[in-house]
Structure 1
Amino acid sequence: MTDRHPLDLPELRPLWSAVHGRLSTGRPVSRVRSGPLDEAGREALADLLGLDRLPGAEPTIPLAGLDSAVLDACGRPVRDVVTAILGPIHDRAAERHHRTGQREALWAWLAGHEVVTVQPALLDWVGHLRAGGLVDGSPERTRGLLTAALTVLHALPADGEPLPVLAARLLDGDSHALDDGTRLSSLVLRALAVLYGTDVPDAAEGRRALWSRAGVADDELSAAVLAAGLRPVGEGPVAMISRICAGAGHPVSLTLAQLRTPGEFTGPAGPVHITENPSVLALALRRFGSHCPPLVCTSGWPNTAVIHLLRRLADDGASLHYHGDFDGEGIRIAAHVMARTGAAPWRMTADDYRATAPRVPFGPDPGRLTPAPWDRSLIDSMTESRTAVVEEVVADLLLDDLAAHLHG
């Protein structure tokens, strides 16, 4: 059994607790207020300090005088005495500073993560999470959860996998990690809602719809992509149907089920242009007919079939070039497509916007604007003009570019 410190007297415990607490603040301490002391405590304190009268029930004691008295009594400074009696003295100020530094480093890491920087709309998600604070007050636990969420977001849109299969593949075999109601599932769904510009769903049906929009458990037949001018090599149905439609000057609609068939086709190795709106594809077919160059349409936010085809074309050596609407939603879609497929911007710079905005002097408001990763000045120009320029307004310029590639 460990011997008690000679000054560890029950009647002095309120004094030692007060001293320990004040020293643990990490701030300079000159006086300590103790108490309430009972009669025995007042007598013990008077004896320790060598007073000729009893102190009050809640005395304020100069720390230097107490330190001197303690040194005389036991040969050790007061800091050593309270440490021996009550345990280590903490530096709460330094600990608060350290925790603040950890939090700031965590949020800076999240804001600078590749998943966020390539889709800056997610900065709103970062802001919401920061306002909500740490998970269980722990930077380490929060970072672990965010790492899992970023892993899932990086893999979306998915390739039609059921949610448990996606979770098991990405999250160490845990097929329940993204179950409805889990903290991780809520984090990812909030990010998707911010990305797609929708409200966070409060019902299970809405959450399933949001997962489906991100390519999770997509219907292989209803998820389809519209294209024109594709002449892939191969003897399978996808290659043959695409070539027949291209030769006839017609568009082709390819389902996810068709595109998933292994080894069906090899895409063109040259440029493939991508538009957001089907009307531009229709205008291209009207102008070029059976000579239409390769063109893929996302039809707004791309589904799994769109991303699957574009990635397949890129893997086969195609260079992808994307154009969409100059409005808030169009910029977010463009960032999403470029991040997921490696496409380059096509007439999507600030200079392009400023050159075409005068075509619609009384155009619609562009809505909520988020940064364009490929041109940081684009949103500044759009904010200043507050005019949306949809693809159809610049269709003639896009078709001229396609003609130049066709005859180049």
Structure 2
Amino acid sequence: MTAARFDRPDLAPLWAEARRRFEATDAPVSRVRLRALRPAQREALADLLGLAYTPGEEVTVSVRTLDTILRAATGGLDTRAVVEAITGPLTDRAAQRRDRATERAELWQWATAHPVVVAEPALLTWLDRVRAAGLVDGDPGATRGLLEQAFQVLAALPAAGEPLPVLAARITGDSHALDDDSRLGKLVLRALATLHGEDHPADAENRRRWWSSAGVACDGLSTTVLVAGMRPVGDSALARTLHAWADAGQGCVVTLAQLHRHPVGHLAGPVFVVENPAVMAVALHRFGDACPPLVCVAGWPSTAAITLLRDVAGTGAQLRYHGDVDGEGLRIAAHVMSRTGARPWRLRAQDYLRAVPDAGPPVGRVDDTPWDPALAEAVRARGVTLLEEMVVESLIEDMAGHACVGVESA
């Protein structure tokens, strides 16, 4: 005899609940509890179980007892087999949940180990917020796809002044992919805000400001970088201008538009990069027209600063970066080094511990420092900011060994 005789509407609640219990766990199911049974369903259950009475609206059925009854009636089919015969093959939902948990764990392991995040650990805070917000449509695959696009956009920034739709089309193939109301656009803006230690830009004005800070549709004339002592090889208008100001012992401002039209040529010797204009002022005072190649990013680097440093690094010159040692200063350092290939300059744990004062401004949120993990640990432990101006004499001493090294004939 088959299970078909038990495929009756009045027994449907029993098979539906048994199916739910079997699919929900890998452990053996010992009991099935039924609730709100109608009179006909209660009578059918009493008939199946051979009860001398009609049970109430709530009944707990022993699966072992049910197995014994069903095996005898069907020639060997237990409760699980009868449920499958009547309602279809069971789904191992417990295994599905384990697989999804593994997928989620692998997703976040992949994201935290992504080169973009490793280079700028401040993005770990952004990923924590993304994770807390939940998966895209509950799907690890869709979430990974969105994050992959976000990483591609972040790796492409600063964008050298191209319009947002052009950037979006170049990276994703969809000119609207970074629109204000798009998932990807919101995700990237949250990442940019996190890098700068600020909240997500909620209004249109702040969104434009953040995109502009990342070089998207920025003004090629007002986006500038401050330089000194640069004597690049070549005879372009920019090269001649840089030579003239270096020979005069003065710093000068270079615009993004100039860099687009006249990329900087080869520079001999290392190029020193600092965060604060005061350091450049001291260097020019000390060295005058013998000042070695020096670039000041003036806080968070502009698109012009990153473009210049990339151009210089592309000619083979070594970049050496120094900045303030506090939470934001270290995020700026990670950003500059990840975007340009610059090396740390007096920016390791021993440098900080040697020079940090006993008291001073608090350091704020300190993210990891990939070039020297011990530095972040030391800064968190001491909690005192080491401003770049406080170590300027050490920086000047390093630069002195390369004074005039950039002098070349145009």
TM-score normalised by the shorter chain: which range applies? over 0.9
1:194 corresponds to: 194
Counterparts of 1:179 and 1:208, CA distance in 2 = 11
Structure 2, unmatched stretches of 5+, are 406-410
Counterparts of 1:265 and 1:118, CA distance in 2 = 26
Aligned-CA RMSD value: 1.8
CA contact (8 A) 2:230 2:243 kept: yes
Q: Could you tell me the TM-score, scaled by structure 1's length?
A: 0.94
Counterparts of 2:184 and 2:116, CA distance in 1 = 16
The aligned runs of 1:349-360 (5 Å cut-off) are 349-357=348-356, 360=357
2:18 corresponds to: 19
CA contact (8 A) 2:3 2:82 kept: no
The aligned runs of 1:80-229 (5 Å cut-off) are 80-171=81-172, 173-229=173-229
Query: C-alpha deviations, 1:132-181, integer Å up to 9, x for none?
Result: 1111211111111111111111111111111001001111x200000112
Query: C-alpha deviations, 1:44-71, integer Å up to 9, x for none?
Result: 3333333444444433221112112112
Structure 1, unmatched stretches of 5+, are none
CA contact (8 A) 1:48 1:73 kept: no
Q: Which moved more, 1:149-158 or 1:77-86?
A: 77-86
Assess, with a 3 A threshold, how the Cα gap between structure 1 residues 365 and 53 changes in structure 2: closer, same or farther: closer
Q: Which moved more, 1:249-258 or 1:364-373?
A: 364-373
Shift of 1:92: 3.1
Counterparts of 1:285 and 1:395, CA distance in 2 = 12
The answer to whether 1:404 aligns with 2:405 is no
Which of 1 and 2 has higher RCO (CA within 8 Å, sep 6+)?
2
SS of alignment partner, residue 205 of structure 1: helix
Q: Which moved more, 1:149-158 or 1:29-38?
A: 29-38
Which letter does structure 2 place at the counterpart of 1:79? R
SS of alignment partner, residue 273 of structure 1: strand
Which letter does structure 1 place at the counterpart of 2:108? W
Shift of 1:189: 0.6
Q: Which moved more, 1:58-67 or 1:226-235?
A: 58-67
Q: Could you tell me the TM-score, scaled by structure 2's length?
A: 0.94
Shift of 1:106: 1.4
CA contact (8 A) 1:42 1:55 kept: yes
Counterparts of 1:371 and 1:45, CA distance in 2 = 64
CA contact (8 A) 1:284 1:292 kept: yes
Counterparts of 1:194 and 1:140, CA distance in 2 = 24
CA contact (8 A) 1:15 1:35 kept: no
CA contact (8 A) 2:3 2:74 kept: no
Shift of 1:43: 3.7
The aligned runs of 1:3-402 (5 Å cut-off) are 5-26=4-25, 27-75=27-75, 76-171=77-172, 173-261=173-261, 265-357=264-356, 360-402=357-399
Counterparts of 1:155 and 1:24, CA distance in 2 = 46
Which letter does structure 1 place at the counterpart of 2:151? L
Counterparts of 1:230 and 1:407, CA distance in 2 = 10
How many residues end up aligned between the 2 structures?
A: 402
Moved over 6 A (4+): none
Shift of 1:307: 0.5
Which letter does structure 1 place at the counterpart of 2:364? G
Which letter does structure 2 place at the counterpart of 1:337? V
